[in-house]
Amino acid sequence: MSFPSACSAVPRRSISRAFTLVELMISITILVILMLVVTQVIGIVQRNWVRSNARVSQFREARVAFDTLTRNIGQATLNTYWESASDPFRTDAANQQVTRARANLRQSELQFVCGPTTNLLTAASGSKANYPGHAVFFQAPLGVTRLVAATGTQADTENMVNLLCGRGYFVEWGDDQPYRPPFLNQLTSVPPRFRLRLMEYSPTAEMNRIYADGFRLIDPADRTKIINSRRWFQDALTSTVQQNEQVGSRAFTRPIAENILTLVISPRTETNVAAGGSVEPFAIARRYEFDSALVTNPGSVASNSPQGTQHQMPPLLKVTMVALDQRGGESLSSNQTLRQKVLDEASGLFTNAADYESDLEGTDSQPGKLKTLLLENKLDYRVFTTTIALKQARWSF
């Protein structure tokens, strides 16, 4: 008897499927798209970083110059004192004149003056496009000397850190021919570099002319009389740094920042109309002009005091500086039509302190004239502004 053979179960063979060509193409396409998106994002981030870093680098020089300017202005002084004004009374037995005190008057041999550059510097008169904005000239105990040894008849002033020095700041359009390296003058491929520059007038204490004969502010014969006003800084445009200058022939005026479009100096008081004050804070210099040698400055509010603001400094100074980026500076240098348009319009602004906001940046609904001008001409800019309290003002009005 035979038995049927047992049928062994045969295991089923597992079948594994590979990716099809269509699936591979789809996955590769998605991968390429992701890579393109990542690449674009990285490119955008990199460009933004480079642009931001460039903006910071381009305006670093302007920021340093602005800090220097405001720090030095904050030390301005007049060293004001009181002096008796007398009238002739009689002649005594020794035939000597006897006088009688009439009043106590403020006096100062120093001067603080600010206003449109073309009004302050005689050589700049009629050249608003080359000297846009305002200038300021003052005396401060900065103690900057020639730092020379005490040899012969020359005094050693190295440790006299509080000596008075004259200082001034203004914006000028021009080339770098006087102070560029000599070897560049031999290369025709490197033309002179024309730029708007913030200039610093910085004579040393030994060369401070405010006390020199022919430049003194107070008449020695009549100490109530002002003479030689503003004469002590009129060499600001002629004494420019030179290529071959030495310690003994150091020039007084030198650039401290490039691509500075304008400088605005607005003398102010703490009076605020909105807070119930009787006059605007800029009433002492409605036309931005302030001269400590004058009793009443142009356009300012008249005072009941016989001396007005004479021999006083404003208690506050609102200082504004507008700087262009490097590309904007090069555009003004290479495009004469653009330069003439921008400088002509910019030099016509900031003549009335009441229009300060509308001249500068304005509001969201009504952009300022300068902002509109720069944006229309695709010029990138930055505004630096601060209000300086002049500690030596000793204000009374």
- DSSP H helices, 74-137, are 117-120
What is the crossing angle of helices 369-376 and 336-347, to 10°? 170
Taking the C-alpha atoms of residue 347 and residue 127, their distance in angstroms, rounded to an integer, is 10
Residue type, 274: A
Q: Do strands 113-116 and 290-291 pair parallel, antiparallel, or not at all (unpaired)?
A: antiparallel
Contacts within 8 Å (CB) and 24+ apart, 225-230: 226/293, 229/111, 229/291, 229/293, 230/111, 230/113, 230/120, 230/137, 230/291, 230/293
Residue 244 pLDDT level (bands cut at 50, 70, 90): confident
- Judge contact between 369 and 363, C-beta under 8 A: no
Looking at the predicted structure, is the pLDDT value of residue 163 above 70? yes
Residues constituting the chain: 397
Helix (H, G, I), strand (E, B) or coil at 282: coil
Residue 66 pLDDT level (bands cut at 50, 70, 90): very high
**Domain extents in the chain:** 46-86+99-389
Q: Please compute the mean of the pLDDT values over residues 221-226 and round it to a whole number.
A: 82
Looking at the predicted structure, is the pLDDT value of residue 153 above 70? no
Q: What pLDDT score does 273 carry?
A: 47
Provide the terminal-to-terminal Cα distance of the chain, rounded to the nearest Å: 142
- Judge contact between 61 and 258, C-beta under 8 A: yes
Residue type, 269: T
- The structure tokens listed for 181 are 């390296």
> For residue 267, what are the β-bridge partners?
317
Q: Please compute the mean of the pLDDT values over residues 358-382 and round it to a whole number.
A: 92
Looking at the predicted structure, is the pLDDT value of residue 300 above 90? no
User: Which residues 6+ apart lie within 8 Å of 343 measured at CB?
Assistant: 128, 129, 130, 132, 173, 332
Q: What pLDDT score does 275 carry?
A: 47
Burial state string for 294-309 with b = 16 or more CB within 10 A and e = fewer than 16: beebebbbeeeeebbb
> Which of 93-102, 331-340, 347-356 is least confident?
93-102
What would the pLDDT profile of 271-298 be if each residue is shown by its tens digit?
654 445 567 889 899 999 999 999 989 8
- The structure tokens listed for 395 are 């204000």
- Judge contact between 259 and 325, C-beta under 8 A: yes
- The structure tokens listed for 243 are 């290529």
Q: What pLDDT score does 92 carry?
A: 76
- The structure tokens listed for 249 are 């022939």
The model's pTM is 0.81
User: Which residues 6+ apart lie within 8 Å of 20 measured at CB?
Assistant: none
Q: What pLDDT score does 274 carry?
A: 47
Q: Residue 362, exposed/middle/buried by CB under 10 A (0-12, 13-18, 19+)? A: middle
Q: What pLDDT score does 299 carry?
A: 85
Phi, psi of 303 (to 5 degrees): -110, 155
Taking the C-alpha atoms of residue 290 and residue 310, their distance in angstroms, rounded to an integer, is 10
- The structure tokens listed for 52 are 């931001």
